[in-house]
Amino acid sequence: MGYAQRHATVFCGAFALIRVGLEGRRTGTANIDDTDSTVGLWVGGGVYWTLKRHFNIGFDLRLSGAEVTLFGKDRQAGGFHSGLILGYHWDCV
């Protein structure tokens, strides 16, 4: 059983629960803090290559975002993620 496909690309997306918090201290006052949670979106993609029939190596990139409210001001939350894919797979019969 040979492998005609030596690499694969992956694209995906979903909903994300994003929670943020900020705390601090103003001079001469007590600690202040605020938190917010909301549903946002994330999208991602990547590519991996199959080496020596069973070993995979590649990378993925993801981006998430949502609008939250902290201390009465709307702000953007989320971020960027990058990762390395290292894996092993076996033949399915």
Does some domain include residue 69?
A: yes
Q: What is the average pLDDT across 46-68?
A: 92
Q: Helix, strand, coil % (nearest 5) of the chain? A: 0, 75, 25
Does some domain include residue 67?
A: yes
- Structural domain of residue 61, as residue ranges? 9-19+35-88
Mean residue pLDDT of the chain comes to 88
d(CA 52, CA 77): 41
Q: Residue 74 forms beta bridges with which residues?
A: 69
Environment class of 41 (CB within 10 Å of its CB; exposed 0-12, middle 13-18, buried 19+): middle
Distances (CA, A) of 23 to 20, 33, 54, 65: 10, 4, 48, 21
Overall number of domains in the chain? 1
pLDDT of residue 85: 92
What is the model's pTM? Answer: 0.69
**pLDDT digits over 43-55, tens only?**
999 999 988 888 9
